Amino acid sequence: MTTFCSGILANLLPEELPEGHNDGFLLGGIVDFVATVSFGTSAYTIPARNISRWSEVMEPLKFTDHFKSIIDHALHLSEELDAAGILILAEGEVDWSRLRRLVDDAKVLVVATQPEYLIGAEEYGFVPVHVNTNEDEAVYTVLTQAILRAVADDSLPPGSRIIAVYSGFDAMHFDSVSVINLGEHLDRLSGRDLRQLESKVPLKTLKQVVDLAVEIGREGREGKSVGTLFVIGDTRNVLMQSKPAGFDPMRGYQRKERNLNDPRTREGIKEIAQLDGAFVISSDGTCEAACRYLDTSTATITLSKGLGARHWAGAAISKTTNALAIVVSQSSGTVRIFQNGEVVLRIESRHRRPMVWRDFDYEPPTAAD
Q: What is the pLDDT of residues 245-260, one digit of tens each?
A: 888 888 888 888 999 9
Give the homologous superfamily in CATH for domain 7-193: Pyruvate kinase, C-terminal domain (3.40.1380.20)
Query: Which three-class secondary structure string do you get for 307-342?
Result: CCHHHHHHHHHHHHCCCEEEEECCCCCEEEEEECCE
pLDDT value, residue 362: 37
pLDDT value, residue 94: 93
Q: What is the C-alpha separation between 184 and 31, in angstroms, rounded?
A: 9
Strands, DSSP E only, in 183-267?
228-232, 242-244
pLDDT value, residue 192: 63
What is the residue extent of each domain of the chain? 7-193, 202-353
What is the reported pTM? 0.59
- β-strand pairing of 127-130 with 108-112: parallel
Q: In one letter, which amino acid is 310?
A: R
The CATH label, of 3.40.1700.10, 3.30.450.20, 3.40.190.10, 1.10.540.10, for the domain at 202-353 is 3.40.1700.10
pLDDT value, residue 44: 36
pLDDT value, residue 350: 61
pLDDT digits (tens, 9 = 90+) for 81-107: 899 999 999 988 999 999 999 999 999
pLDDT value, residue 247: 85
Which DSSP helix (H) or strand (E) runs through 204? helix 203-219
pLDDT of 365 strictly over 90: no
Cα 41-42-43 angle, rounded to 5 deg: 95
Q: What is the C-alpha separation between 114 and 309, in angstroms, rounded?
A: 45
Q: Give the residue, 198 or 35, on which the prediction is more confident.
A: 198
- Return the CA Rg of the chain: 22
pLDDT digits (tens, 9 = 90+) for 202-234: 877 888 888 889 889 888 887 788 899 999 999
What percent of the chain shows pLDDT beyond 70?
Answer: 72
What percent of the chain shows pLDDT beyond 90?
Answer: 31
pLDDT digits (tens, 9 = 90+) for 102-140: 999 999 999 998 889 999 999 999 999 988 765 566 777
pLDDT of 47 strictly over 80: no
Q: Give the residue, 348 or 72, on which the prediction is more confident.
A: 72
Residues linked to residue 326 through DSSP beta bridges, in sequence order:
230, 337
Q: In one letter, which amino acid is 240?
A: M
Q: What is the C-alpha separation between 302 and 299, in angstroms, rounded?
A: 8
pLDDT digits (tens, 9 = 90+) for 259-277: 998 889 999 999 999 888 9
